[in-house]
């Protein structure tokens, strides 16, 4: 079902939101978890994939780039590495775009020298890292895609005084300041590594709707982006703590919300109707903050909807970017 108006009742949270969200649609997609069964994915092409490192102002930033066309930089989320991108989703984007994925500071080869990143960095600092990568690669006509915490970094990034950005895609994320609906304490505990002996199943349970959890447990690992030579990355406890504090400050950053209101950039906001991590009420709030933005709420989709609908989501973003 599609509707031209998305009402203010989102994820069972009633917002006193006044006017309805602008340019908003609720959409249904056909579920397509691939379960690692198809070889047509970018991380199977060893000759075309090599991890590279650029030196940012605060330390090294490790990245991969592949595909051909206008560039798309993807920023990943809380306690995530580049492996948390779905390989088929990236492959769909790479059909018409050059795709750049990188690890946030403290993760993988972006870890740098111990202590170099400091002990109190926030979302603006991680946006500086992304800006340094973009400048080092001299990217133009650029689309930024940010998922979850990566969407917060992307929001901060586009408020910086740089004219490289053409478009912004915000996926399963939240606005800054009082406009946000932060994640619940129990969900926070699971995502922070407190899931106990059934940690993986518990994480799948909060990333996906209940009717997709069994498929996610079976398919998630096989569908992760796994380039040759990229080792499984453990997120250090201190990085988890830093990222957690960074998000807490984001949810209190009304100054960032004011800056976001001044952004004039074509923006697509996508959220799952069944997101248990960052409720889709956040997407509605973002739609009101960013002038002229488009909002798409996906039925039967959770926080990691790029694993539920990898190709459809890639095509949706590709159509928004255009040639």
Q: Write the DSSP string, 168-217.
A: EEEES---SGGG--PPPHHHHHHHTT--GGGHHHHHHHHHS-GGGHHHHH
Closest CA to 87 of 75, 103, 99, 69: 99
**Residue 152 included in any domain:** yes
Alpha-carbon distances, residue 266 vs 69, 142, 257, 270, 314 (angstroms) = 19, 12, 17, 13, 17
Sign of the CA dihedral with 92 first, then 93, 98, and 102 last: negative
Cβ-count burial 47-70 (b if 16+ within 10 Å, e if not): eebebebbebebbbbbbbbbbebb
> What pLDDT score was predicted for residue 291?
94
> What pLDDT score was predicted for residue 260?
96
267 CA to centre of own chain:
14
**Residue 114 included in any domain:** yes
Read off the pTM. 0.92
Alpha-carbon distances, residue 89 vs 45, 225, 304, 306 (angstroms) = 15, 9, 12, 6
**Residue 2 included in any domain:** no
Tokens 């080869």 found at: 109
**Residue 257 included in any domain:** yes
Contact, 278 vs 285, CB < 8 A?
A: no
Domain that holds residue 135: 9-321
What CATH number has the domain bearing residue 84?
3.40.50.1820
Tell me how many domains the chain contains.
Answer: 1
**Residue 316 included in any domain:** yes
201 CA to centre of own chain:
21
Closest CA to 51 of 293, 281, 228: 228
Backbone angles phi, psi at 202, to 5 degrees: -65, -40
Rounded CA gap, 303 and 74, in Å? 16
Output the six-digit token pair for 47: 């000759």
Rounded CA gap, 154 and 126, in Å? 9
Strand runs (DSSP E) across the chain, as ranges?
9-10, 13-14, 24-27, 52-56, 59-67, 70-75, 97-102, 142-147, 165-171, 267-272, 294-298
Residue pLDDT tens, the chain, 323 long:
333 333 333 333 333 344 446 799 999 998 778 898 888 899 988 888 999 999 998 889 999 999 999 999 999 999 999 999 999 999 999 999 999 999 999 998 897 554 455 668 899 999 999 999 999 999 989 999 999 999 999 999 999 987 789 999 999 999 999 999 999 999 999 998 876 778 899 999 999 999 999 999 999 999 999 998 887 778 888 899 999 999 999 999 999 999 999 999 999 999 999 999 999 999 999 999 999 999 999 999 999 999 999 999 999 999 999 98
**Residue 4 included in any domain:** no
**Residue 23 included in any domain:** yes
Q: Is 278 exposed, middle or buried (0-12, 13-18, 19+ CB in 10 A)?
A: buried
Output the six-digit token pair for 17: 């939101």
Sign of the CA dihedral with 19 first, then 22, 26, and 31 last: negative
89 CA to centre of own chain:
12
**Residue 52 included in any domain:** yes
Output the six-digit token pair for 42: 């970018």
> What pLDDT score was predicted for residue 309?
97
Backbone angles phi, psi at 64, to 5 degrees: -125, 150
DSSP strand pairing (97-102 vs 59-67):
antiparallel
């Amino acid at each position: 079902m599609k509707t031209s108006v998305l009402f203010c009742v989102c994820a069972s949270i009633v917002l006193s939101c006044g006017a309805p969200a602008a340019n908003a649609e609720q959409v249904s997609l056909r579920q397509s978890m691939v379960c690692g069964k198809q070889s047509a994915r970018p991380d199977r092409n060893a000759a075309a994939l090599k991890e590279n490192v650029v030196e940012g102002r605060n330390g090294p930033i490790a990245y991969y780039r592949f595909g051909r066309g206008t560039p798309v930089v993807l920023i990943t989320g809380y306690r995530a590495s580049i492996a948390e991108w779905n390989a088929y989703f990236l492959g769909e984007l790479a059909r018409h775009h050059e795709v750049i994925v990188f690890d946030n500071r403290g993760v993988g080869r972006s870890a740098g020298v111990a202590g170099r990143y400091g002990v109190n960095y926030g979302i603006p600092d991680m946006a500086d890292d992304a800006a340094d990568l973009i400048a080092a690669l001299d990217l133009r006509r650029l689309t930024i895609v940010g998922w979850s915490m990566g969407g917060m970094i992307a929001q901060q990034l586009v408020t910086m005084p740089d004219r490289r950005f053409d478009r912004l895609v915000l996926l399963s994320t939240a606005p800054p300041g009082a406009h946000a609906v932060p994640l619940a304490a129990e969900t926070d505990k699971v995502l922070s590594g407190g899931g106990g002996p059934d940690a993986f199943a518990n994480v799948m349970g909060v990333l996906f709707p209940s009717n997709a959890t069994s498929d996610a447990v079976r398919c998630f690992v096989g569908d992760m982006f796994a380039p040759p030579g990229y080792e499984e990355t453990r997120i250090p406890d201190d990085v988890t703590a830093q990222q957690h504090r960074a998000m807490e400050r984001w949810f209190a950053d009304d100054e960032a919300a004011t800056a976001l209101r001044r952004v004039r950039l074509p923006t697509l906001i996508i959220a799952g109707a069944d997101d248990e991590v960052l409720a889709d009420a956040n997407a509605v709030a973002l739609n009101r903050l960013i002038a002229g933005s488009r909002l798409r709420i996906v039925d039967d989709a959770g926080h990691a909807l790029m694993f539920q609908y990898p190709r459809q989501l890639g095509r949706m973003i590709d159509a928004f970017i255009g040639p």
